[in-house]
Structures are given as structure tokens and as C-alpha cells.
Structure 1
């Protein structure tokens, strides 16, 4: 398949590196390798570079990368990755641009998920969208006025660390909730809920109430038109939807909450699609940067 102006997308996580090229919203030449997350920085950089190198025959014109943690998207510096300990301050953009001689755009992985959903999912009909990924942790991305909003070094939307009850939202809205409170595995609970196990259904109902509380806080802050739910726990949506919606009913501004659209992600590679979309989105961000004069911490 030959196309002009191809962009290579990578989704770099603590367990795997996924990559591919985009054709009309479908990822092709998809590759996936294990992330050597406990290895020294140089070894991880080499693993990333080797995966990129496999795409050289396609003559891609740019690289978009989503990665967990704080990112300076202007200078392409990655900070303090919890799942990749040796990545504390890595000039990833400079490293890869020197090696591959094409522009490299980097952003937070939850932002890439949200951008991918906005560009290629049902949320594309809205101007203000929040993406929430529910898994081992939670991540949030923000589309405001049809563009990705990241805040300073991609710190916007870090709802997982926000205090909630006796802990944080991450402890109540990720898989940590099931382990921490019930010593249960979310995937196994979902299987039991599918079989109408009353205890599992009650646990997911409670989980949904906590997620609804999170969404209510998000409504106060961003007033989105739509929310897209992704991550592995999204597959259990039928079991926590009711609890979630009951909690959202408590939101005082009905003109916002009653018009809110909630979608469950059905895209296979939202994060890779979003990473690819970063290249076009970056043109807008760079123009905005020149106007605002925002500083970085490079």
C-alpha cells in the first residue's frame, strides 16, 4: 500500500510498544513488542528505534508518539514515567529526530486516546470532548473547541491523583478499586457479572457510582458535550452503567448533564490513531504557543 505523507504512530506503554500506519482510520502494518521497562534508558531507546526502523521501507514523513506521564510536547521531553523508571528526563524527540531525520511529535497517551477517538470515533461530531481510560490506572484527555488541550507539560486532566473520599479517584475508578476493596480481579468479576452473579453485579454498581462522581467533577470543570470511555474496564460497561448514570443525575446543572453523550470506545487502536493525528494537531498547538508565549521546562 503506497501513500504519500505517511505518519508512523507509536503507543509506548509500560508493558508493550504498539505501532502502525493509518489508512482511512484503520491501522495497517500493526506491530507490537514487549517494553523492556526495567532496562536502562539506552536499551529502551534502542527498542523503540528498532521498532521504528522496521517501517523505513514505507518512507514515513513524520512520527507521532503517545507515552504515559508528563510530556513537554514543544521540546519533546518525557518526564517521570512511573512504569518506565529509567525515563525521568528523556529528550526523546531529539534522539529520534537525529536518528530518523523526520519530525517527531510526542504527547501523553491518554491525550492520544482522546484525540484518536475525536478524529475517528462517534465523538467527532462534538466540539468539547473528554476521553477517560479505565484500566490499571485512569487517564484523561481533553478536546476543547475541537482541539487537544494539554495544559503545561501535558498536566491537564490528571484526575487520577485528585483526592476522593479516603484516597484518590484512581483508587476508586481503576482496577485498583476491585483489588483494594474486595480483593478481586476486575476481569474475573466481569465474567461473573455476565453470568448474573448478584455479588459481582453489586460491586460493579458501586464502581459505577464512583465513576459517576468523577464524571460529575469533570462536568463542573470542563462542561463537555461528550465523554468517551476506553481502557480494559470499558468492556464491563453494561454492569456499571446504571450506577454511573445514577450518580450523574445528582449533578445540579441539568442543561449540561442531560445533554451529555457518553460513548464506549469501539476503536481498536485509538491511541495509535491519536499519535498519528498529533502531527496535524501540532501545527495548531505550535501556532497557539507562539501567541501565548508559554514557557517550557526544557
Structure 2
């Protein structure tokens, strides 16, 4: 029987697991809740226990696997296989991960940042079509991403390579960002950023709009509400989506003018808007991109959804083949 890969996608609420073939096909997957109590000290033991339980359930042993890969929030040290500052896991201090999992399972282990890992997944068997040059942008609570050039992730000297959410798209009077700067892409294109942008634009909009009325009334409005209203013909909501498309298109063009990837893949919750958002990003991308870049780099929507993390994590483990 051919050997397999194990992928782990560690999140703040759920830990997802997958057993995959060497071609990136998921054969089995499952998930457990993330127990972040007591400074997250239960997380790694829970991962070990779940892996042992499932391998016994499926009649598999360590010899059936080439390796285990994992994506994690926080600052990841790929060499020591540790994570520091993953605050949504209550991991303020450095956590030993790889050494424990390798000792308990006897299988080689690799780890990287969760956004990088999702990028690897989309590049391998998703919208990236296994091209060696792909940029992944994920639009969720924040804006993250990963840059893959010539088949390898760009990490940078301090591990901060691919911080796409912190490209400046509004140089003057931009919204403040959690990073300390102003005008970052994350402040206008994340799920919370879209709502922030809508609240700002509502102040000067004078037409009829159910979304503007809800904002003016102090009602809760989500990014999904805004996109849904835009698709249904709400002119104010449509103007917000258009502005989001402008910011993403500008950022995509700046990325592509430097890297000229085969594709820039848009994923994450906000990307659920699909073609309704993609074509707007592409319109502004084509406006701002260098001539040869606009002819060769494509704007795509991600294909793997919630499986990108475990697939990308498994691809990390293929290095042990």
C-alpha cells in the first residue's frame, strides 16, 4: 500500500485533520474542538490523542505515512517547530509542537503559518493548478496570504513575507490598522473592513438604501449583508463593493507588478461573493498592472474552501518523501 500524508489545520475554534494521498486527494477527514483553556495547554495533547485514535480506528501505523504537516496561527519557527504569540489559541509564550508530536507518533513533522499553508493548498490542487508561481489572498476577519515563487513559499528574513493585508492602499486619511499603520488593505477588505468602509461611505450617501438605513439606525450589518444587498440592486451597497474591488485590484496589481505570478487567488469568507467580486478586482487590476503583467497574470477565486488548510499542510509533509 502506498504511503500517505497527514494534514492538520489548527484554528481558534476547530482543529481539522486529513489523511491524503501523495497527489493531494483527501481520503479521510475529521475535526475536533480547540480547547484553549489554561493557556492552550490541552491543544497539542488533544492533537496527539485524536491522531492516535483515528490511526487505530483505520488500522494504520506510522509506517503508512511519509509525514505530518500543520498550519498554525501565530509566529511559526519552522526549524524548531514551535509557535509563539498565537493569541486566539491563548499561546502567548512559545509552544513546543513538533518535538512532542514526532515523539508521540514517530512520524516526521513540518509546520508553517496557516495563511502560507492555505496558499500551498490552493496552489497544489486548487485554483493555482500546481503552477510554481501563485499568490494567495485570504479575506476573512483579517486579510492574509501567501506568496509562492518558483515553487517555494516566500518567508522573508523575519518570517513576515507575504503580509498582503498590510499593503498600503490609502496613503492619506486611511483607517488605523492593528499593526500600527494606517490605510492597510486589511482595514478595507477584511470582513470587518468592508463594514467599516460602508459606515464611512454612508455618512455622505444621500440616496435610498436599506443598508445605509440599517447603518444609520445603529443596526448590526455584516459584510455578507452588504454583498447580498449589492447583488439585489442596492445602489449604496454596490458602491461599497465597487470600492472594495478597487482596493483589492490596486493591491493585486502592485503584487503582480513585482512578482508576475501565473495567478492571484482570492479566498476566505469574503470571497464567497465569487464572480460578483472577482470581476471588479480584475477591472482595477487591469487598470493598474504593467502591460506584460495584465496579459499574463490571472485573477481567480479559490476552489478548496475549508479544505485548503489540511491540503496545504499535507503538502508540507511531502518534503519527507
Residues 25-64 of structure 1 aligned to structure 2 (within 5 Å): 25-57=24-56, 58-60=60-62, 61=65, 62-64=67-69
Q: 2:147 aligns with which of 121, 142, 150?
A: 142
- TM-score, normalised to structure 2's length? 0.80
Residue equivalent to 2:12? 14
Tell which deviates more after alignment, 129-138 or 85-94: 85-94
Residue equivalent to 1:287? none
Answer whether contact 1:78 1:87 (CA < 8 A) is retained: no
Query: What is the CA distance between 1:123 and its match in structure 2?
Result: 1.8
Answer whether contact 2:68 2:109 (CA < 8 A) is retained: yes
Residue equivalent to 1:296? none
Relative to 1, partners in 2 of residues 1:241 and 1:119: Cα closer, same or farther, differing over 3 Å?
A: closer
Q: What is the alpha-carbon distance in structure 2 between the residues aligned to residue 254 and residue 174 of structure 1?
A: 29
CA deviation profile, 1:217-270 (whole Å, cap 9, x unmatched) = 212332212111111111113332343223213325210122211221122411
Query: What is the CA distance between 1:272 and its match in structure 2?
Result: 0.7
Q: What is the alpha-carbon distance in structure 1 between the residues aligned to residue 253 and residue 299 of structure 2?
A: 13
How many corresponding residue pairs?
A: 281
Q: What is the alpha-carbon distance in structure 1 between the residues aligned to residue 187 and residue 44 of structure 2?
A: 31
SS in 2 for 1:83: helix
Q: Quick check: 1:276 aligned with 2:320?
A: no
Residue equivalent to 1:193? 230
- TM-score, normalised to structure 1's length? 0.86
Q: Quick check: 1:177 aligned with 2:193?
A: yes
Q: What is the alpha-carbon distance in structure 1 between the residues aligned to residue 169 and residue 24 of structure 2?
A: 37
Unaligned runs of 5+ in 1: 284-298
Q: Which has the larger radius of gyration?
A: 2
CA deviation profile, 1:39-98 (whole Å, cap 9, x unmatched) = 423222223223322322232522110112321112211121132232431121112112
Answer whether contact 1:19 1:31 (CA < 8 A) is retained: yes
Residues 206-285 of structure 1 aligned to structure 2 (within 5 Å): 206-251=243-288, 253-268=290-305, 269-281=307-319
Tell which deviates more after alignment, 120-129 or 95-104: 120-129
Runs of 4+ with >6 A deviation: none
Q: What is the alpha-carbon distance in structure 2 between the residues aligned to residue 265 and residue 255 of structure 1?
A: 24
SS in 2 for 1:88: coil
Answer whether contact 1:12 1:18 (CA < 8 A) is retained: yes
Residue equivalent to 1:294? none
Unaligned runs of 5+ in 2: 175-181, 200-220
CA RMSD of aligned residues (A): 2.2
